[in-house]
Structure 1
Amino acid sequence: MYKACIFDLDGTLLNTLHTIAHYSNKALEHFGFEKLPLEKYQVLCRLSYKEYYQTLLKFGGCPEDRTEELFDQVGRFDHQAYLKDALYLTKPYEGIKEILEKLAEKDIILAVLTNKPDHVAQEVIAATFPDTFDLCVGQLPDKPAKPDPNALLRVVDLLGLQKDECIYVGDTDVDIKTANGAGVFCIAAAWGYQPIEMLEKNEPDVIIHRPEEVLTYYR
């Protein structure tokens, strides 16, 4: 029987796409680059911290020889602005709060694993789902990021569980690769940022279309 449900954050628990685009576009403008359309952020949201800002700068017109110099500066500017109002344009997907309550009623351990920087993830989760999750793990400089399966295995270990006691729910190919590499049952969330064709191609254990379908695996 599964004892824990580990969720991705952006595109799985929360619709943050407009929020991310808003602040990252402000960062691009501040450093003299072009703003990006929303669909570019659907691509970017899959990436780790370094890959995100390097690709953001590339899409925004930054010369390739300057991305290494600027990506961390742009990241810091973006995060400082984001944390001033992290909930701007952000909202949980319909049905998410209800499913978390039902899982908690079943004494299922709830956790978050995200490539969002850890201090940002902690702020966002505390503000949107207070006293809901037993553990939230964001990206730290000295720890592996998704799709490295060790990122998920570390969370399983922190929960004091075995990998076959956990389910991971995410909305991207990166999430599926992470779970499959770790040997953790993977549920792909079709309501997120990636097309269903991408999810199918990466072979999750199951694809669901509504949050309440998660409950099927905890009966």
Structure 2
Amino acid sequence: MKYKAVIFDLDGTLVNSIEDIADAMNQVLKNRNYPVFDYNTYKTFVGSGVKSLIHKALPKENQEPTEIETCLEEMMKVYSENCTNKTATYKGILELLDILYSKHLKLSILSNKEDSLTKKVAAAKLPNYLVPVLGLKHEALKKPNPQVVLEICKFHSIKPEEAIYVGDTGIDIQTAKNANMLAVGVSWGFRDTQELIEQGADCILNTPLDLLKVL
């Protein structure tokens, strides 16, 4: 199979954003005198969008719908103002992207991070040749729903089986499988490789440049 496109998850795959995410959520929790969490714990919280993060971070007894919505609004504001403070690309990512671009592969991003924040982080930290860069706009379209990643294929005028989807969580692997794409996991992200294997990853990268071997 000759692959024509690589679609990437963002957080935990292209960029390490966990400290900015955790710092923002902890600020929301501190403002309410709720318990806060360390960075490693937040790695288990992320991957399914901000609303899911709020659910996991709030105390069980404080998960009324109004409280969730209020915290969501505050989290979005705090994180939006601080989403590029500590976030950085993983070692080897920029080199990989440049090589893929030189090979005329189509490169895109699909994240479960809210769409405007996905675009903001990508614009600050990644090359502008990743097109389109898409985040979550509607909860119903959240990964592993394959609808948006299939729309990216249509945008590039390719078949799903001509694309590789690269991510760091089981949800990313499910997304690729649901879309009939090659499912590639990364070992440097927010989840352990066992989760990726259990979800059926076709292969797992230990460094970004390992993707060149897959191609």
Same fold (TM over 0.5): yes
Aligned twin of 1:52? 53
Aligned twin of 1:25? 26
Query: What's the C-alpha RMSD, in Å, of the aligned pairs?
Result: 1.5
CA distance in 2, matches of 1:56, 1:173: 20
The answer on whether the counterparts of 2:185 and 2:205 sit within 8 Å (CA) in structure 1 is: yes
Relative to structure 1, the CA distance from residue 21 to residue 65 in structure 2 (aligned partners, 3 Å threshold; closer, same or farther) is: closer
Q: How far is 1:113 from its partner?
A: 0.5
TM-score if structure 1 supplies the norm length? 0.92
The answer on whether the counterparts of 1:12 and 1:191 sit within 8 Å (CA) in structure 2 is: yes
Q: How far is 1:143 from its partner?
A: 5.2
CA distance in 2, matches of 1:174, 1:77: 26
The answer on whether the counterparts of 1:176 and 1:202 sit within 8 Å (CA) in structure 2 is: yes
The answer on whether the counterparts of 2:49 and 2:112 sit within 8 Å (CA) in structure 1 is: yes
Q: Which moved more, 1:190-199 or 1:155-164?
A: 155-164
Per-residue CA deviations over 1:111-151 (Å, capped at 9, x if unaligned) read: 00000000000100001114131111100026511111223
Within a 5 Å distance, the mapping from 1:1-219 to structure 2 comes to 1-57=2-58, 61-63=59-61, 66=64, 68-141=65-138, 144-218=141-215
Identity %: 29
Q: How far is 1:88 from its partner?
A: 1.2
CA distance in 2, matches of 1:193, 1:80: 23
Relative to structure 1, the CA distance from residue 114 to residue 79 in structure 2 (aligned partners, 3 Å threshold; closer, same or farther) is: same
Q: Secondary structure at the match of 1:123?
A: helix
Gaps of 5+ in 1: none
Aligned residues: 214
TM-score if structure 2 supplies the norm length? 0.93
Relative to structure 1, the CA distance from residue 185 to residue 49 in structure 2 (aligned partners, 3 Å threshold; closer, same or farther) is: same
Gaps of 5+ in 2: none
Q: Secondary structure at the match of 1:207?
A: strand
The answer on whether the counterparts of 2:21 and 2:83 sit within 8 Å (CA) in structure 1 is: no
Aligned amino acid, residue 135 of structure 2: G
Per-residue CA deviations over 1:4-26 (Å, capped at 9, x if unaligned) read: 10000000000111111111100
The answer on whether the counterparts of 1:14 and 1:92 sit within 8 Å (CA) in structure 2 is: yes
Aligned amino acid, residue 89 of structure 2: P
Q: How far is 1:85 from its partner?
A: 2.8
Aligned amino acid, residue 137 of structure 2: L
Relative to structure 1, the CA distance from residue 29 to residue 205 in structure 2 (aligned partners, 3 Å threshold; closer, same or farther) is: same
